[in-house]
Each structure stands twice: as structure tokens, then as C-alpha cells.
Structure 1
Amino acid sequence: MTEDDARTLAAEVLAGIAPDADLASLRGDEDLRAALDLDSMDFLNFVAGLSERSGRPIPEADTPRLYTLHGLLAYLAPR
């Protein structure tokens, strides 16, 4: 998966959880949860959606790596 693929996937999954959220408006180091007003359940659903749509398991221990856009892309792209 390329970084562009990861960004597209994240945007698509996020659209189902927070339709008004815009990943393009975020800084790479900004906390997605705070910037997009995602509560813990929303973020859990976001991670589950990323895992399901990518076909790759995302262990709970890796969840903090997905808190920022940079972290999310770095995690998903090379896998």
C-alpha cells in the first residue's frame, strides 16, 4: 500500500464515522482524535474499519501509532 492509498483508505473509512471530517485540512502531527472530535468509540471504529478495509490486523497495542496522520500513513503504507 502506498502513502496515497493509505490516505485514501483513511479518508473513506473516516467518511463513514465523521462525514464532515477533512483529512486534507489536518497537519501531519495533529492528533486526529482531537482535531476531528472523535471520541474513543469513534476512533476504535476508525481503527477497526482501517483493519477491515486493508485486510490487515491492527493490534490494540499499535493503536497509539495511528493518532496522527503522519503516524497513520507511516504505519499503513509500508505494510
Structure 2
Amino acid sequence: MTTTPLDPRRAREAVNEALLEIVPDADVASLGPDDELRQTLELDSMDFLAFARRLSESTGQPIDEYDYDRLTTVRACVDLLTSRR
């Protein structure tokens, strides 16, 4: 499947929006680009899967199970979304 990569600003917005759907009270504005998402936001496995699914749905970018280990930080998520071809 060929997809159009997102620009970094839109990718960051998509990550923030997906995180807020899973953790509504999260302060995503203060989340650093290299903060570990699962640890910082205390995401359990179900929360993480919901985040990955929501991020994929909202961006139209496929995020498969083998991509999950790349979704560690905001920067890593943005890099994944902006590198898709």
C-alpha cells in the first residue's frame, strides 16, 4: 500500500490527538519529544494498542504490529508517520 507521508507538524498533532483520546487528562504539551510514552503516560498494553489503532485511523497510515516497537516516543511516532511512502 502506498501512502503519502505526513508533514512533521501534522504528524505531531495526530500523535497528541491520539494520546488525548486514550489519556484525556494527559498534558501532551509538556511531553518531550524523547519521553517514553508508555512509561510517562502509564499506558498499559490495551491503552497502547488503542493508541496505535487510533493513530493509524486518524492519519490513514498503516501501523502494523511489527511497527509497535517503533512507537516509543513522540519523535519516533512522528518519524514513522513522516517516513511512510
Whether TM exceeds 0.5 here: the answer is yes
What residue number does 1:69 align with? 74
Q: Are 2:43 and 1:38 equivalent residues in the alignment?
A: yes
- Structure 2: how far apart are the matches of 1:27 and 1:16? 18
- Structure 2: how far apart are the matches of 1:24 and 1:73? 15
Instruction: Spell out structure 1 runs of 4+ moving beyond 6 A.
Output: none
- Structure 1: how far apart are the matches of 2:51 and 2:11? 13
- Structure 2: how far apart are the matches of 1:71 and 1:11? 13
Q: Unaligned stretches of 5+ in structure 2?
A: 1-5
Q: Unaligned stretches of 5+ in structure 1?
A: none
Q: Secondary structure at the match of 2:21?
A: helix
Which protein shows a greater Rg? 2
Q: Secondary structure at the match of 1:77?
A: helix
Q: Are 2:18 and 1:10 equivalent residues in the alignment?
A: no
- Kept after mapping to 2: 8 A contact 1:5/1:77: no
What residue number does 1:24 align with? 29
TM (normalized to structure 1)?
0.90
